[in-house]
Amino acid sequence: MIKLCVFDLDGTLINSLEDLAFATNYALNNSGFPSHKTEEYKRFVGDGVFKLIERAVQQKDCSPEVLAKIKSDFDTYYNTHYNLYTKPYEKIQDMLQFLQEHHIKLAVISNKPHEFVTKIVNEFFGDTFEVVLGHSDKNPKKPDPTSLLNTIQTYHVLPQECMFIGDSDVDIVTAKNAGVVSVGVSWGFRGKKELAAAKADFIIDDPERLLDVVESFLHQT
């Protein structure tokens, strides 16, 4: 029986690609680097801001000082422009309501910096999620399972009573590292092929499909 659903944020609950792309392009341009098309950022995001900046710069010999400057400009811009185009994917709110009605606990774990994660989740989802964790000194980045395992302990559930839902291979590997059920969502940034290659337990094309997956566990002991 599933008692806890833990979600990735970007590409899973919210479509934030345009705002991430605009913030990164702003920071790149400030340091004399060229912009990228929004669609290209589907391959850049997912492993935290530092990795996003490295991938967008596309220069292996770029100095740490330059990367730090670009990240600082990204943080400053994104802090006040994170919600220009970002919004939950269609049917996400209904899906979350269904899970709550079935007394399933909800949490978010993201590789986005913790301060951004809490701000965005509070704005779009209020108090829907009891545990919300982004990357910080205390919360290592996925696929390290530490944050997921700590969340499982917080709710006093077993790993097999938890699902981790995300849009990338990083999310699927995180779930496997923690010994929980892995669910890949194909509507996000990476797509079904990557999720299948990562051997997700389930791959869903619509938020309503998650309800079917959860229900299949409801009567298990």
**Tell me, what's the pLDDT at 216?**
87
Asked if 75 and 149 sit in the same domain, the reply is no
Query: Active-site residue 169, yes or no?
Result: no
Asked if 21 and 73 sit in the same domain, the reply is yes
Asked if 107 and 201 sit in the same domain, the reply is yes
Among candidate residues 8, 19, 167, 171, the one labeled active-site is 8
Residue 119's domain comprises 4-15+87-218
Model confidence at 143: pLDDT above 70: yes
Asked if 73 and 104 sit in the same domain, the reply is no
Number of domains in the chain: 2
What secondary structure, in 3-state letters, does the chain show? Answer: CCCEEEECCECCCEECHHHHHHHHHHHHHHCCCCCCCHHHHHHHCCCCHHHHHHHHHCCCCCCHHHHHHHHHHHHHHHHHHCCCCCEECCCHHHHHHHHHHCCCEEEEEEEEEHHHHHHHHHHHHCCCCCEEEEECCCCCCCCCCHHHHHHHHHCCCCHHHEEEEECCHHHHHHHHHHCCEEEEECCCCCCHHHHHHCCCCEEECCHHHHHHHHHHHHCCC
pLDDT tens digits, one per residue of 58-116: 987 899 999 999 999 999 999 999 999 999 999 999 999 999 999 999 999 999 999 99
**Tell me, what's the pLDDT at 156?**
96
pLDDT tens digits, one per residue of 46-60: 999 999 999 999 987
pTM: 0.94
